[in-house]
Structures are given as C-alpha cells and as structure tokens.
Amino acid sequence: MEVIIKQTYEEMSRAAAHDVARLLNTKPNAVLGMATGSTPLGMYQELVRMHREEGLDFSQVTTFNLDEYVSLPVSHPQSYHYFMQENFFKHVNVPKQNTYIPSGTTSNYQAFCAWFERRIEECGGIDLQILGIGSDGHVAFNEPGSSLSSRTRLKTLAKQTIEDNARFFERREDVPIYAITMGVGTILEARRLLLVANGKNKAWACAAAIEGPITGMVTASALQMHARAKVFLDDAAASELKMREYYDWIEERRPGAPQV
C-alpha cells in the first residue's frame, strides 16, 4: 500500500485529484468508482477546477458510486444521488447515462444489486475506485463484521455511522438505518484503489486499516490485500501511524526513485 501524507486537507485533496486526472489523461474512457461524504469534497472541487481551467475531459468516463441510503428519494438533499449531482456531475461533462448510483428506492433490492454488479462487469470493471473511511474503519457501508468477500447488498448501518452522519440531517432519527453498498469483494476487484482520509477522528481507523491486521472488523484493512492501493491522508489522520517516518521518507525519496 502506498501511504501519502500531506500537511493539510487541501494539499491531500489536490494530490488525490491529480492522481485521478493522470488516469483520465492516459485512459479517457476510464471507469471511475465514486465515493460521497465530506472527505472527497476537496478532491471533487479540484477535479472540477481542472475540468474548467485545464480542459480535463470526462466525456467518455463512466462512474459507479459505492453506496446509497435506503428510502431516500434521489431529490433528498442527503441522498448520495443529490450529493453527486450537486458536488460533481453538474460541474463536469460526464454523460448522465454513464453514471450509476445504487438505488435506495428500488422495489427489489436483490435484483437491483445483481444488476449493479453485472453492469460494472459489462463496463469492463472499475479502473480506479475512490474511497473514504468511516471512523469505525468501514469502506463504503461495509460495517464491522462484513465479509471481506461481500458483494453489493443491503446493509444495516452501525450505530457509530448513524451518529457520525447525523451531522448532515436535521434530527438523528432522520438518518436512514439501511444502505445499499458495494461489497468489499466488489471493491477489491477494481484495478486501483484510492482512499482519502482527513482529521483526527479518522486517525484510529487509518492506523487500523493500514497497519493493523486484516479483519472484517475494520473493512478498510482489506486494502492491504490489493496490489495497487494508494492512501492519501492529511497530517491529523496520519497521527496514529507507527510507520509515519518511513512513509515520509519514501515520499522524500520519490523524485529520485527508479521508475516502475
């Protein structure tokens, strides 16, 4: 796993966005896996800036989102459909028909999940999956105890996730209890993984995911099994890493390192 630590959230977001842009510049029809939540906002803003100012082109891109709350209509301001539209899609030129987000309102979740998995395959698989991490170590909504080979499915949110996400809703009772989420197994099939995390409240989860044992209790630790996983952290999120000095040393040496 490559661990890249930047001093600030802004620097971390820019570095992650540049990684995505590099992929689009070499593969304009890339399939991107998208995450929502507050962490990737800065990265999306930088991608939008690159689209406006530098002509970064999304016209051949296909996107698959990780998850969606069950029961929220797409027009609900806290739905991930709404989030993606407001924070990214409406500012770039991804064709609408190329964007896939799990449905939180389907009448048949099982059939929808199977279709979603099939659609990823039919589009050639995900080239780069963007991920955040929950304070309990979850990726997507794969809460502690999830199978590391799980597929897209309905999932009950953990109490900690409901607490964490209550900040976006008027009342805690309004936070949905269920979500539809890509599984850990689905995520691990992406050709590359890119996780972003910032803030002190993510420090424990980042340390557990990056340096702890691989366990279904911290589903982000499954990234250790992926050959091409990159993690972008700010200083606070990196504060509990034991190998911090080594990660910084690697970054310092990078300009002179042999090209792979």
Nearer to ligand F6R, 138 or 230 (CB): 138
Name the one residue in this structure whose structure tokens are 């091409």: 228
Q: Is 138 a residue of the active site?
A: yes
Report DSSP state, residue 169: S
Please pick, among 67, 68, 117, 127, the residue that the annotation labels catalytic: 67
HSE, CB side, 13 Å, CA atoms: give it for residue 120.
29
Instruction: Using the minimum distance from each CB to ligand F6R, give the nearer residue, 67 or 117.
Output: 67
137 lines the binding site for ligand F6R (CB under 6 A): no
184 binds ligand F6R (CB under 6 A): no
Is 37 an interacting residue with respect to ligand F6R (CB under 6 A)? yes
- Of 33, 104, 132, 137, the residue at the interface with ligand F6R (CB under 6 A) is 132
Minimum CB separation of residue 158 from ligand F6R in Å reads: 10
Closest of 75, 41, 52 to residue 196, by C-alpha: 41
| Comparison of 39 and 62: residue with beta carbon closer to ligand F6R | 39
Catalytic residue, chosen from 127, 136, 164, 235, is 136
* Strand extents, DSSP E, the chain: 2-6, 31-34, 62-65, 67-69, 99-100, 128-131, 153-156, 178-181, 192-197, 229-234
Under the binding rule (CB under 6 A), the answer on residue 223 touching ligand F6R is: no
Residue 19: strand, helix, or coil: helix
Q: How far is CA 200 from CA 1, 130, 213, 234, 243, in A?
A: 21, 21, 21, 9, 17
| Catalytic positions, written as ranges | 67, 136, 138, 143
Binding residues for ligand F6R, rule: CB under 6 A, are: 35-39, 66-67, 132-134, 138-140
